[in-house]
Structure 1
Amino acid sequence: VYYSRQTREGPRVFRHRLGAAEADEELFGKGYGPEKIIGAEISRDGRYLIVTVLHGSAARKAEVYVQDLAKGTPLRPIVTDVEALFSGRIGGDTLFLRTNWNAPNYRVLAVDLRDPAREKWREVVPEGKSVISGLSAVGGQIFVSRLEDVQARVQACTPDGRLLREVPRPGIGNMGGLAGDWDSDEAFFTFSSFARPQVIYRYSVSKGTSEVWARQEVPLEAQDVEVRQVFYTSKDGTRVPMFVGHRKGLPLDGRRPTLLTGYGGFNLAELPSFSPRAAFWIDSGGVFAVANLRGGNEYGEAWHRAGMLDEKQNVFDDFVAAAEWLVANHYASPDTLAITGRSNGGLLVGAALTQRPDLFRAVVCGYPLLDMVRYHRFFVAGYWVPEYGSSDDAAQFAVLRAYSPYHNVKAGVRYPAVLFTTGDGDTRVAPLHARKMTALLQAVTGSPPDRPILLHYDTQAGHSAGVPASKQIEELSLEMRFLLWQLGAGEGSAGR
């Protein structure tokens, strides 16, 4: 078994021999400090070990190494000296690299692992107008996942990049890339949408046909839900997409309980995937919206860079413009509009509530970054300096101070009701952010009964994985009850 883990000196790759009494053997990573991220995986046929080194959480550079386990040869560097991102998938003896090297929207290169010299690399899928968001190698073909105006598409191509067909998309939602073996005709992919839980499809590579293989069942009729994509204009004139979901036939009279969310960071695209939060909100008669903000990967690296470092304010402007669009188009009013976000999304809603407190009635701010002047000094936040910048740099200090939610709370302002959530188990974003922001907002507002400032603090729960289902249900139920109360909707009957 091959795996990577963080040590005091930095990330390392280890080999564990099943049943062996001796300690695991360190294979790779010496010389890399804790600011790096190292991943290790085995090709599906078990022959090759692929090691990828990311230079930080918001990396602009990646290194790739490959080892032929069948021959027992040492790890061999494929690319280490290019300021670009690379991720690999192996089909037979070929390493297919998805990269933004000289291609902000990404392209696909083919590397013959029997002779991987760079001058022999071949471009098999060139960069296009749409973003190449993923890549897989199955059944003797490569499957290229694209985002075209944030609509997922998967294309089947020959190993030399010739387009064969497009994998049918079941609707507006999140379509996952294909998974399977290089020498097998059978592959699988997933699809979900706001109110449609994940469905797994079995796909025949040779025939290009698919059928439902497994589905999750929830007590919600997906055919009664309408999901549409809209576009709006941000403060600087940028065209920004957003997905909006609600029950079919819902009257749009400006009084619908509306929940808006987003992320806008770390090169991550937000697609209309299934979530219990969205399903509950829509089933309760509300409107659920996801804004595709700059800082993500919806339109490639240029979209990402337009929402990071000194351009971070663009993300908040995009989010505010999304809220204004929902009001202008009679989905909601400021009294029936709420926002929610976690982690970097917690920073997003924290900035929104301090910059435009008049636009929202309620905010759920989960596991957030809120003191952007000092954030990098706690836990693993040093990883995020390439994304946000650091106040240790005078120019970056000015940018961070200008939008840092904690430093922009003002007395005499009527803020929305806010529910902060965090806990001692969060080892990624220090819980001190939510604690001190709660205290500050309570001090300047008095936490009035109609718009309270609340903190849900769990001494055991954490940032992401590892939270038991009972805790997840408890936290989500608390958030939904808080929002429905604030938006004036009876529990389970929002807007009905």
Structure 2
Amino acid sequence: MKKPLLTLIAAAVLSACSPATDNATEHTTESGAETSATQQQDQALDYPQTRRDDTVDTYFGQDVADPFRWLEDDRSDETAAWVEAQNELTFDYLGQIDFRDQVRERLADAWNYERLGAPFEEGDYTYFYRNDGLQNHFVVYRQQGDGEPEVFLDPNEFSEDGTTSLAGLSFSPDGSLAAYATSAGGSDWRTIYIIDAETKEPIGEPLVDVKFSGISWRENDGIYYSKYDSPDGSRLSQLTDQHKLYYHELNTSQADDPVIFGGSDEQKHRYVGGRVTDDGRFLAITAANTTSGNKLFVMDLQADEPELVTVVGHEDSNTGLLTNDGDYLLLQTNLDAPNNRLVRVNASEPDAANWQDLIAEEDEVLSVSRGAGYIFASYMVDAVSKVKQFAMDGEEIREIDLPGVGSAGGFGGKDDADKIYFSFTNYITPPSTFSLDPESGDAELYFAAETTFDPENYVSEQVFYTSKDGTRIPMIISYRKDLQRDGSNPTMLYGYGGFNVSLTPSFSVTNAVWMDLGGIYAVPNIRGGGEYGQAWHQAGIRTSKQNVFDDFIAAAEYLVEEDYTSADKLALRGGSNGGLLVGAVMTQRPDLAKVALPAVGVLDMLRYHTFTAGAGWAYDYGTAEQSEEMFQYLHGYSPLHNVEEGVNYPATMITTADHDDRVVPAHSFKFAAELQSKDGGENPQLIRIDVNAGHGAGMPTSMIIDQAADVLSFTLYNMGYEKLD
């Protein structure tokens, strides 16, 4: 039913500037937005003064100043005052953009359509998620047979301002009980509530201090969950490095919950997760210290004396349990298979020497799911989906006929399900849900969103370009069919490039509005991601990280060379690790683009590992203490440490949030302070800080629209646009 269990695992000197000007003569774009060579800001920007201190760290004999270290204190009044002053400046600036409200209205109109999730059965009910358009959060509904749907959980009622979201929902095996997690203000910290599914009445007290956790039931008696000890200091920034798996029996105190894994020095790991197989037989436990590679253990819960059995005792591979077939475990792994394979092994002798391939490794990256008694194998072919159906013994049955070229997901369900649901989308196609008859392989449309966006008016093409070292990189470019390739089109280049994350085609309302305004949206599948398996990931980590930046730079140069756009009409965008990407590229090549939009970025590469669970990112990044070579490499590209005095950097709007405890906002605070203190050009260097929001997950629709309107307006304004139709 489920995919494999893997580790859970996103200023100082007063200065003046004026907005960018466009050297071209005044003209009107396809969208009717006008540009002007004489556009000027109403008044010059005066950046808030940011105190500098004398903090210095020494690495291998080299002193590195950190004058804005005090901004790391998220609980200080001085930091709060700085945030308020920066937001005041930024929102005053954005308020001068005449078409900002118009962009927001277009976004709200485009967002206002019904979205419906695939149905799933629990007990006597069919459940589904639905959003009527502009609701801040999806509502969970249920119905019996052909009866009228009723609200089961409405996250829009969790808080008055909509900033508390639903972060997980799990039902007991018979569907009579439910446990759900909430996130306040976008934080990774969760609270779990257990309720009677029929009456919705609470059972016991909520569970607190939960983080990076699933919710998995052991029969109807209790749940497994993961947590860290509550930090002594700031919950939003203090280092958390010992994760533990607990078992909570219903109607008992959380203080009495036993530690199942992680309570000793021998079992100390940064990330620990647990899940019970659908038949209740096995508890699978993953343990890891970084975001790549994990140990795997199983426990037979039906044994007279359950014992922890090691399946994989090292962290040199990613291995997860898909399901069990009686006494046999089905494991997805990249051990001796960089593109992944599915293996089968007896739970009593699960050592890798006894593994037998069910689905062997192929040239494309494999991801597996299970439902209706079948295995579904999803492959990435140049970042787009191909799906095959297999019997439980590994016999290939068919390739699933997908509705187009794009991303297909889902393909999961219970063993007794008579239908399997999957979703399909790409950059110009809003998500649709299909029901699949697993016996015949026939698929029918279950739900298609009715939006104002007509895919027939747009094109999404895949191209291949060459990076600095000769590597061939794919990129998907999407735009209106009537667009002219004359080098004048506003273009958003989006990237990530890390942590084995694959950027596959998906629909975004924000990007749809951008294209409707005459913009181009381009996404290269750069190294560091997982689009071509383990080797592609490895080619963009640690001392190979520059490959990622070179791939992104080459994508920008391709777009200019092929007359899609020009440097004056190009914006760089990315979030989290993608924020690092934008920060590194804009400091290495400030001439490359007109606008830079680093979001919730990892920008201080010398100290990232000292906050929350950041030490777990060392597999991709390395650390400054690791070796002198690693320190010099990190220091050489760290965005914070490579801002130079007097350089004219692109018009930059950094976005972050005060409750981001994944990539703490201090990264963005210090980078903004550095840019403002050394500003040497006309372009604005601003930071926009959301309040009661986190790394991005669970953000209410209203806040998403506000942020998107500001990002698009800032981008177009600094490309020289004065108004829209």
Q: Decide which moves more: 253-262 or 12-21.
A: 12-21
Counterpart of 1:335 in structure 2 is: 568
* Counterparts of 2:278 and 2:458, CA distance in 1: 38
Alignment correspondent of 2:636: 402
What is residue 183 of structure 2 aligned with on the other side?
none
Q: Which residue, 265, 288, 294 being the options, matches 1:62?
A: 294
1:81 to 313, 316, 341: 313
2:548 is aligned with 1:315:
yes
Query: Do structure 1's residue 4 and structure 2's residue 226 form an aligned pair?
Result: yes
Moved more, 322-331 or 484-493: 484-493
Structure of larger gyration radius: 2
Structure 2: distance between partners of 1:430 and 1:447: 28
CA distance in 1 between counterparts of 2:722 and 2:388 reads: 45
Letter in 2 for 1:206: E
Pick the aligned partner of 2:648 from 409, 414, 421: 414
Partner of 2:85: none
SS of alignment partner, residue 30 of structure 1:
coil
The separation in 2 between residues aligned to 1:75 and 1:223, in whole angstroms, is 58
8 Å contact kept, 2:311–2:350? no
Equivalent residue in structure 2 for 1:149, among 379, 382, 405: 382
Q: CA RMSD in A?
A: 2.1
The answer for the alignment partner of 2:446 in structure 1 is 213
Aligned pairs for 1:89-168 (under 5 A) are: 89-93=322-326, 94-113=328-347, 116=350, 118-132=352-366, 134-168=367-401
Kept in 1, the 8 Å contact 2:649–2:681? The answer is no
Q: Alignment partner for residue 464 of structure 1, among 696, 702, 710? A: 696
Deviates more, 1:227-236 or 1:69-78: 69-78
Task: Note the C-alpha offset of 1:206.
Answer: 0.9
How far apart, in 2, do the equivalents of 1:49 and 1:3 lie? Answer: 12
Partner of 2:707: 475
The answer to whether the Cα contact below 8 Å between 1:91 and 1:182 also exists between their aligned partners in 2 is: no
The structure, 1 or 2, with the larger RCO (C-alpha pairs under 8 Å, 6+ apart) is 2
- Of the structure 1 ranges 248-257 and 118-127, higher mean CA displacement relative to structure 2 is found in 118-127
Comparing 365-374 with 457-466, greater Cα deviation is found at: 457-466
Q: CA deviation at 1:233?
A: 0.2
For 2:427 and 2:527, the matched residues in 1 are separated by 21
In the alignment, what sits opposite 1:435? Answer: 669
Seen in structure 2, the aligned counterparts of structure 1 residues 491 and 300 have a Cα distance that, compared at 3 Å, is farther
Contact 1:35 / 1:382 at 8 angstroms: preserved in 2?
A: no
Secondary structure at 2:568's aligned position in 1?
A: coil
Give percent identity, aligned residues only.
39
- Aligned pairs for 1:300-311 (under 5 A) are 300-311=533-544
Conservation of the 8 A alpha-carbon contact between 1:373 and 1:404: yes
What is the deviation of 1:158?
2.2
Say whether the 8 Å CA contact 2:647–2:680 is kept in structure 1.
no
Query: For the residues of structure 1 that align with 2:448 and 2:516, how far apart are their CA atoms?
Result: 19
Secondary structure in 2 aligned to 1:402?
A: helix
Residues in 2 aligned to 1:413 and 1:387: alpha-carbon distance in whole angstroms: 30
Using the alignment, how far apart are the partners of 1:492 and 1:128 within structure 2? Answer: 49
Q: CA deviation at 1:95?
A: 2.3
- The 5 Å alignment of 1:236-255 reads 236-255=469-488
1:15: Cα distance to partner?
A: 2.2
Matched, 1:234 2:467: yes
What is the alpha-carbon distance in structure 1 between the residues aligned to residue 639 and residue 404 of structure 2? 38
Matched residue, 2:622: 389
| Partners of 1:88 and 1:98 within 8 A in 2 | yes
- CA drift at 1:283: 2.0
Which residue number in structure 1 is paired with residue 133 of structure 2? none
TM-score, scaled relative to structure 2: 0.64
Distance change in 2, residues 1:35/1:388 (3 Å): farther
Q: Deviations over 1:379-407 (max 9, x none)?
A: 32211112101111211011111111122
Residue type of the alignment partner of 2:334: N
Residue pairs, 1:141-290, within 5 angstroms? 141-290=374-523
Distance 2:412 2:432 in 1: 14
Post-superposition Cα deviations, 1:131-173, rounded to whole Å, max 9, x if no partner, equal: 11x1112222211111122121111122232221111222222
Structure 1 residue 483: Cα displacement: 0.9
Aligned equivalents of 1:190, 1:47: Cα separation in 2: 30
8 Å Cα contact 1:228/1:243 also seen in 2: yes
Distance verdict in 2 for CA 1:302–1:436, change over 3 Å: same
Structure 2: give runs of 5+ residues left out of the alignment: 1-222, 231-240
**1:47 Cα shift?**
4.0
Q: CA deviation at 1:262?
A: 0.7
**SS of the residue aligned with 2:249?**
coil
Between 137-146 and 264-273, the greater mean CA deviation after superposition? 137-146
What SS does the aligned partner of 1:358 have? coil
Asked whether the equivalents of residues 269 and 287 of structure 2 are also in contact (C-alpha less than 8 Å), the reply is no
Structure 1 residues without counterparts, runs of 5 or longer: none
Distance 1:215 1:68, change over 3 A: farther
Cα deviations across residues 442-471 of structure 1 (Å, max 9, x unaligned)? Answer: 2222563xx211111234322122433322
Deviation at 1:24, TM superposition (A): 3.1
Q: What is the CA distance between 1:321 and its match in structure 2?
A: 0.3
Query: Which whole-Å CA distance do the structure 1 matches of 2:387 and 2:305 have between them?
Result: 35
Q: CA deviation at 1:198?
A: 2.0
- Aligned residue for 2:580? 347
Residues 360-369 or 421-430, more deviating: 421-430
Write the deviation string for residues 89-135 of structure 1: whole angstroms up to 9, x where unpaired: 11532422111111111111112346645544211122121111x11
Q: Deviations over 1:186-240 (max 9, x none)?
A: 2111111123222221111111111122233432112222111111000000000
The whole-number CA distance in structure 2 between the counterparts of 1:419 and 1:78 is: 48
Give the direction of change, closer, same or farther, for the CA distance of 1:73–1:65 in structure 2 (3 Å limit).
farther
Asked if the contact 1:242–1:289 (Cα under 8 Å) also holds between the matched residues in 2, the reply is yes
1:270/1:207 CA distance change after superposition, 3 Å:
same
CA drift at 1:71: 5.0
Secondary structure at 2:446's aligned position in 1? strand
Aligned length: 488
Distance 1:117 1:345 in 2: 38
> 2:278 corresponds to which residue?
44
The 3 A distance-change label for structure 1 pair 238 and 436 is same
Q: In the TM superposition, what is the alpha-carbon distance from 1:46 to its structure 2 partner?
A: 4.1
Distance 1:237-1:84 versus aligned 2 partners, 3 A rule: same
Q: Distance in 2 between matches of 1:256 and 1:320?
A: 18
Distance apart, 1:345 and its partner CA? 0.4
* Shift in CA distance, 72/353, structure 1 to aligned 2, threshold 3 Å: farther
Change over 3 Å in CA distance of 1:75–1:38 after alignment to 2: farther
Cα gap change, 1:224/1:47 in structure 2, threshold over 3 Å: closer, same or farther?
farther
Q: Aligned equivalents of 1:407 and 1:21: distance in 2? A: 48
Residues 529 and 537, structure 2, Cα contact 8 Å, conserved in 1 = yes
Where 1:407 maps in the other structure, the secondary structure is helix
Helix, strand or coil: the match of 1:445?
Answer: coil
**Aligned residue for 1:364?**
597
Q: Render the CA deviation track for 1:47-95: whole Å, top value 9, x for unaligned.
A: 43322223312x2x32222334455652542423242110121153242
Contact 2:244 2:260 in 1 (8 A): yes
1:198 corresponds to which letter in structure 2? P
